[in-house]
Amino acid sequence: MSRQKSFARFVAAPENRSALNAVEDLVDCLQQGKSPSVNPLYLHGPPGSGKTHLVEMLARDLATLRRDVTICLISAGDVREGEPDGARESDLVVLEDVQHLPPHAEVWLIGMLDDRLRRGRATIFTALVGPRHLSHRGNRFSSRLTNRFTAGLVIALEPLQTPSRLQFLEEMAQRRQLALGRDILNWLSDNLTGGGRQLEGAVAQLETMSKLRPHALDLKTVAAHFRPQVEATRPTVDRIARQVGGYFRIEPKQLQSRRRHRSVLLPRQVGMYLTRQLTRLSLMQIGAYFGGRDHTTVLHACRKVELALKDDAVLSGAVREIHAELA
């Protein structure tokens, strides 16, 4: 099976092409029994950007190309006491969602990775954010670990932008031999922003709808069908407050209080910043939600967070992670 053929079902776009090339090269190395040209490989990006899809394709294709190659897939959030089976001996280890790695597992991961690097065994990591932004419940990952990530190849997968979402929808529809009007494709690419999984699911729904209708699908029907889904996934100030509160371990209602203690002040400022980034609410509306504050307070909070993001890696990682969960 050729490299081009094995990944033919992945929709390549500017936002994911570098990651696709890196994974294809790794498959080539493992297929030929060579040590990886870069090790470890660290892929990061928001949900729906294609990280898991790439890893699944890699594992599936390797199992077809080289049945003697052993693969160990681990979810970082599932790492408890002891070492996961196959973590050292497998030809390829994939550790997904590194941001969920428990702090006590860092020492184990450093030792395991060092051992694999000495023996030239391939290791892939996936995460929502880049190595220097990694933190667990506000506690920054040790530089001993993050330096090992950055010593390999770090690649960011960006959220699909409107032109790439349109390309994705066109390819998915073509594979299913589903005729969709340009107006329908444009509307979907403008309104469905949840990533590849959401877009593929949408095309599957449209295929079912087309089979149940005597006439061709029109924009009015499609928009009416997907509008509840679009509204449900669109970030709201309530969702943002819950997500921020959960990350910083405070009750969301405290973000709406008059307290100015740092334990509440910083999360409230982050909530204001993300609300301005992710919703269409005015500064006055945002201030009204977060404890009846005026628009100048909201603007000050947003500017303060923006400045802090440039210098505070822990805060930057927190904001990136929360943003990725909401977007």
Domain positions in the chain are 3-156, 162-233, 237-326
Instruction: Determine the 3-state secondary structure of 92 from DSSP.
Output: strand
Q: Which amino acid is at 273?
A: Y
Alpha-carbon span 137 to 321, nearest angstrom: 10
CA distance 170 to 109: 41
Written as tens digits, the pLDDT of the chain (327 aa) is: 444 445 667 888 999 999 999 999 999 999 888 889 899 999 998 888 889 889 988 888 888 888 888 999 999 988 876 778 778 889 999 999 999 998 889 999 999 999 999 999 999 999 988 998 888 766 789 999 999 999 999 999 988 889 999 999 999 999 999 999 999 999 999 998 878 888 999 999 999 999 998 888 999 999 999 999 888 778 899 999 999 998 888 999 999 988 878 789 999 999 999 999 888 899 999 999 999 999 999 999 999 999 988 888 778 878 887 887 786
Helices (H), 151-261: 162-175, 182-191, 196-212, 219-233, 237-248
First-last CA distance in the chain: 37
- In this prediction the pTM is 0.75
The CATH number for 237-326, chosen from 1.10.260.40, 1.10.1750.10, 1.10.10.10, 2.40.50.100, is 1.10.1750.10
Instruction: Determine the length of the chain.
Output: 327
Instruction: Name 42's bridge partners.
Output: 125, 154
Kindly state the helix (H) or strand (E) to which residue 269 belongs, with its residue range: helix 262-278
Q: What is the dihedral of CA 98, 101, 107, 112, to 10 degrees?
A: -50
The pLDDT of residue 2? 46
Q: Which two tokens stand for residue 49?
A: 């950007």
Q: What number of other Cβ atoms are within 10 A of residue 272's Cβ?
A: 28
From residue 301, give the alpha-carbon distance in Å to each of 184, 253, 260, 289, 306: 40, 18, 12, 14, 9
60: tokens are 């599936």
Give Cβ neighbours of residue 16 (< 8 Å, ≥ 6 apart): 49, 50, 54, 157, 158, 160
By CB atoms closer than 10 A (0-12, 13-18, 19+), residue 232 is exposed
Side-chain half-sphere of 51: how many Cα atoms within 13 Å?
25
- Token pair belonging to 131: 């190595």
**Cα–Cα distance list, 48 to 43, 234, 291, 295 (Å):** 13, 15, 34, 34
pLDDT tens profile 45-86: 888 888 988 998 888 888 888 888 899 999 998 887 677 877
Burial pattern 5-26, b for ≥16 Cβ within 10 A else e, equals: ebbeebbbbebbeebbebbbbb
Q: Where are the beta strands (DSSP E) in the chain?
A: 41-44, 71-75, 92-96, 122-127, 135-136, 139-140, 153-156
State the pLDDT at residue 201: 92
- 162-233 carries CATH number 1.10.8.60: yes
Same CATH fold assignment for domains 3-156 and 162-233 = no
Q: Which fold would CATH assign to domain 3-156?
A: Rossmann fold (3.40.50)
Give the tens place of pLDDT for each residue, 232-243. 778 899 999 999
Question: Which residues are CB-contacts of 286 (< 8 A; sequence separation ≥ 6)?
Answer: 237, 272, 275, 276, 298
